[in-house]
Structure 1
Amino acid sequence: MQIKILNSAKDIINEDLEGKNVVVIDVLRATSVMITAIKNGAKSIFPFENIDDTKQACSLNNNGLLAGERKGLKIDGFDFGNSPLDFVKEKISGKNIFMTTSNGTRAIQNAQGYDNLYIASYLNLSAVANILLKDRKDTVILCAGTDDEFSLDDALCAGMIVNKISKQIKIKADDATLSLQILADLSDNIKDTLKNSKHYSYLKSIGYENDLEYCIQKDICEVIPFYKDGIIKNIK
């Protein structure tokens, strides 16, 4: 089984994904939101790259809610921003969520030609590792990154997934992927590893410290959001 980690949303555009699984990670905070929303009863999530397409699609659905951010902040007129703590059962159970974010939804849109696409974060990393072990297909882990640049929060999560898989089976990986696997093995405390990183520090500076504490929790649910034909649902 070969595993490759990509650093940002743009890096997958020219990647050959035929016969492969893809895992998209945007820990802070899009994929953490998706996992939380599905866990709390959202019917479906529809990811979009731009704001106008999101609004248009939601306007055609009588059971839809708008969710999204730019620069970490809620988009004017939307029902939700990008805080997973806002996606509680009372507000979203049975609803369709139309979502656009700066990096995570764009990463999903950029992936084409794969066999399966799974959504991951620290919240469900063991569940995702286990389904990849079950499939045993070559896998590309796409870190959404921040504004098309490497982001440590996503990369560490990707390394943790690779680390879990490599403890069960022999994998093939390039040096960049191996380096993140080693980093994951040495990171006993996620917060200590991320506390000075760019995106973590930015979200803290604009008041989302509670989101950060939530998003760095490991394995608090078994939900595996699965993207197919423009829709994200729970695989189980």
Structure 2
Amino acid sequence: MNEKTVILSTTNGTVAMKNAHAANEVYAASLLNSVSVAKEILQYYKNETIILVCSGSSGGFNVEDFYGAGYFIECLEKYSNEHLEWMLTDAAMASHQFYLGKDNQAEEVLLNSRVGRKLVEMGHHHDIQYVAEKDTCFVVPYLKDGTYVIHKNLKR
């Protein structure tokens, strides 16, 4: 198998990860890999605060990050080995409730977002279909030494 490196740079996500570099660990999650990232965090970080950063778009809020954060919280709750009681901020609780209300509607949420509508106009509907999939990628991207993003391949 040929291994290839992919470098993704976004206007908000890259900045958010760079600004979070002082944290003990910084991971990147999406609908595609939330289960893998949640399991990794739950395996290595017990009783620690988890801060979810929704990078948004063009410096502002976007619904796709909000939905994704809600799904990530759902994954943390679902895969907690212990019956932990999560203390969610109001924003975290709102994103989780929003996700639960639209659980099987990821593609619809993304298509109706500002960025989704723009992508459809540009002919990228198939890209939205792909990123709306849940847990099809088994990688855990994280920052190492505040500099490099490493992808740890996981097998199910």
TM range (shorter): 0.7 to 0.9
Q: How many residues align?
A: 145
1:121 matched to 2:30: yes
Structure 2: 5+ residue runs without aligned partners?
Answer: none
Please, which of 139, 150, 154 is the counterpart of residue 233 of structure 1? 150
Cα distance, 1:158 vs structure 2: 0.8
1:222 matched to 2:131: no
Alignment of 1:155-234 (within 5 A): 155-167=66-78, 168=80, 169-187=84-102, 188-229=104-145, 230-234=147-151
Identity %: 26
- In structure 1, distance between residues paired with 2:17 and 2:134: 22
1:131 matched to 2:40: yes
- In structure 1, distance between residues paired with 2:115 and 2:28: 20
Q: TM-score, normalised by structure 2?
A: 0.83
- In structure 2, distance between residues paired with 1:102 and 1:160: 23
Structure 1: 5+ residue runs without aligned partners?
Answer: 1-40, 42-88
Cα distance, 1:101 vs structure 2: 2.2
Residues 102 and 127 of structure 1, relative CA distance in 2, 3 Å threshold: same
Residues 231 and 186 of structure 1, relative CA distance in 2, 3 Å threshold: same
SS of 2:52's equivalent in the other structure is: strand
AA aligned to 2:131 is C
Please, which of 102, 107, 113 is the counterpart of residue 11 of structure 2? 102
- In structure 2, distance between residues paired with 1:193 and 1:101: 21
Indicate the RMSD between aligned Cα atoms, in angstroms: 1.9
Greater C-alpha Rg: 1
Cα distance, 1:132 vs structure 2: 2.1
SS of 1:235's equivalent in the other structure is: strand
- In structure 2, distance between residues paired with 1:117 and 1:161: 14
Residues 123 and 99 of structure 1, relative CA distance in 2, 3 Å threshold: closer
SS of 1:140's equivalent in the other structure is: coil
Please, which of 39, 61, 64 is the counterpart of residue 150 of structure 1? 61
1:47-76 C-alpha deviation (Å, 9 max, x unpaired):
xxxxxxxxxxxxxxxxxxxxxxxxxxxxxx
